[in-house]
Amino acid sequence: MQTLTDPRALLDPNLPFNEAAVQLLDRVVAAMFLSNNDVERDVAHRVLGEFKNMPNAWTHVAFILNSSKDPNTKFFALQILEATITTRWNVLPEAERNGIKAFVTSLVIQLASDEGKQKTEKHFINKVNENLIQIVKREWPERWPSFISEVCYVFQTDIIAILLEHFFEDIAFRSECLRCLTEKRQEQRNAEGPLLLSADGGEGSLTPAELSWRVKQYAEVLNEVRGVLISRMAKPQEVYIQFDEETGEVTRDYEVDTAEVSLYNTMRCTQVLLTNLGQLETQRLMLSVLHLECMHAPIQGEQWNSTTLNRLCYSIGSISGAMSEAVERPFVVEVIRSLLNLCESMRGKGNKAIVASNIMYVVGQYPRFLRAYWKFLKTVIAKLFEFMHESFPGVRDMACETFLKVAQKCKQTIAATHQEDERNFVLTVIENHSQQTSVLDEKQQLLFFEAVGHIISATPPGVQTECIAALMSSSLNKWKETLAQRNSNPDALFSVHSSRQLVHIIRISQRIAKDNTPDSRDCEVLALLAVLMARLDTHISSVLPVIFDYIFDCTLQMIKSDFQSYPDHRERFYALLKACNQNCFSGLFSLPSNQLKAFVESLAFERLLQDILLQFDERNSFSAD
């Protein structure tokens, strides 16, 4: 067989398109996708484009698909066929159109009947289906009325008769035949299920006796529904780490899939209702799946598919609060203990990251349980701190967010003094906080400090001052160092590193003191903002909504109750409004309607206050006369 080396040989219509041509096409496609040489890649791109536009290129598609072993070449062949269908379909002779229809239809049926290819060649199958869809758009139903019957003929055969007559007697196939017949029976039951459920149902509410009877009557059906929901549970928004079934890799996904979140919410409501109808049944089913997964996962190692465990944990988290506390406690203990043991026994960072993400999601969904059992809550927090040191992408983010969620919902329990602890747990966390924050990025550090701030807010007032001072000590030291550098070298303050460091310290302070008391708010902040507005002029308009979110409402609440409180804040507040009105008036229209209304009312109130003071001064002067 002649070996072709020049890529342009593919463009010669006089050369036969044989095995040598397919091998040359494989090399050109490989150069297009894999070559590091820009010249080779450009030549390959140009040759493939010209080959795709050749009038007879589509006639080689079947030969390419049968001869090539390169999936990229096969995909390119399907692109050629799709381009022909979408641009030249109506000018092709009828015989050629029928040939393409027959080829694509048989290819679809062949791929659909091969379960292995459905998993390994998913993208290829999707492309074949796209070709079929393009043909159907142009042919069905006028010129291809038999399309449905041609594609679905295999489902019209009498499968049961074929199984019994040709395969059941053979001992080698008997087990598979029984399995197939069992599945057929299960499908029949599924079809009859809705009829059974509606046969004795009248309208209106059920009495407790009727409800109890129905739950018992349909117990098997409800268990099957629970099993289906558990096996197909959608991913909640809080989980970043997932297993990609197409690539077999563990990935980090921050994109919010609104359709999947909506599906999760619907399935969660259904799970809660089913749990209300059978708490123990739900518990037994979930634990049985969990124990099987914990048994098989360590054995499978790197080949482990975590989809079952992920969906199970999504289901466990979705029914939080649906069980009574007596049922929930042993259930959650068993789930978390099993997951922790599984995390220890798994090999590979990706697998450990998946189990860790499931642990964090589950513990974050059960604050009622954590509040009731301090020892377990303490263990969970220690494990979250351990996960903060994991380097796998997404684990630290989830650990910090879960710690924040736990701190918000369990702050009273964490801040309380427990007899079994030698020292207050909050003080221990604060003293060792640098061990956690040293490995976190800036965003993760902010989440950590905000979580500790929530916990501190639940401590007694006397302890709060000590806790805040200890927590902010390292940040204040960095602040002092930066300002000291500015005194010795003023230009150092304008470096990118110094600016980022100062901004980060300010953000930490804001996260910790988000809900501080009025007495702790410095009026000089208002004066600083007024100066910034005067200096930056309209450049500050874009961040005006942010300034109002943090400054306007809380200050207004301080000064509007009476005329005597916080006089310095009052003076600087109206100076800020004046600077805003004079220098960034256009930015006011970007404010939410409620804040813009409050801004205008504040100006009117200032004018009214001035009139009152003026009249008061006039009366005093008249009395003196």
Q: Looking at the predicted structure, is the pLDDT value of residue 466 above 70?
A: yes
Long-range contacts of 541-547 (CB under 8 A, 24+ apart): 541/584, 541/586, 541/587, 541/590, 542/587, 542/590, 544/580, 544/584, 544/587, 544/588, 544/590, 544/591, 545/590, 545/591, 545/592, 545/595
Quickly state the pLDDT bin for 517 (edges 50, 70, 90): low
Q: Looking at the predicted structure, is the pLDDT value of residue 12 above 70?
A: yes
Q: Do the beta carbons of residue 358 and residue 336 sit within 8 Å?
A: no
Of the ranges 180-194, 287-301, 400-414, which is most confident? 400-414
Question: Span 532-542, mean pLDDT?
Answer: 81
* 554 against 436, higher pLDDT: 436
Quickly state the pLDDT bin for 598 (edges 50, 70, 90): confident
In the three-class reduction of DSSP (H, G, I as helix; E, B as strand; rest coil), residue 601 is classed as helix
Quickly state the pLDDT bin for 227 (edges 50, 70, 90): very high
Q: Looking at the predicted structure, is the pLDDT value of residue 591 above 60?
A: yes
Question: Span 54-76, mean pLDDT?
Answer: 89
Phi and psi angles of residue 110, each rounded to the nearest 5 degrees, phi first: -65, -45
Q: Looking at the predicted structure, is the pLDDT value of residue 170 above 80?
A: no
User: Element (H or E) spanning 104, and its range?
Assistant: helix 94-112
Write down the pLDDT at residue 616: 43
pTM reported for the whole predicted model? 0.59
d(CA 572, CA 160): 87
Question: Span 271-295, mean pLDDT?
Answer: 92
Q: What is the radius of gyration, based on Cα positions, of the chain?
A: 35
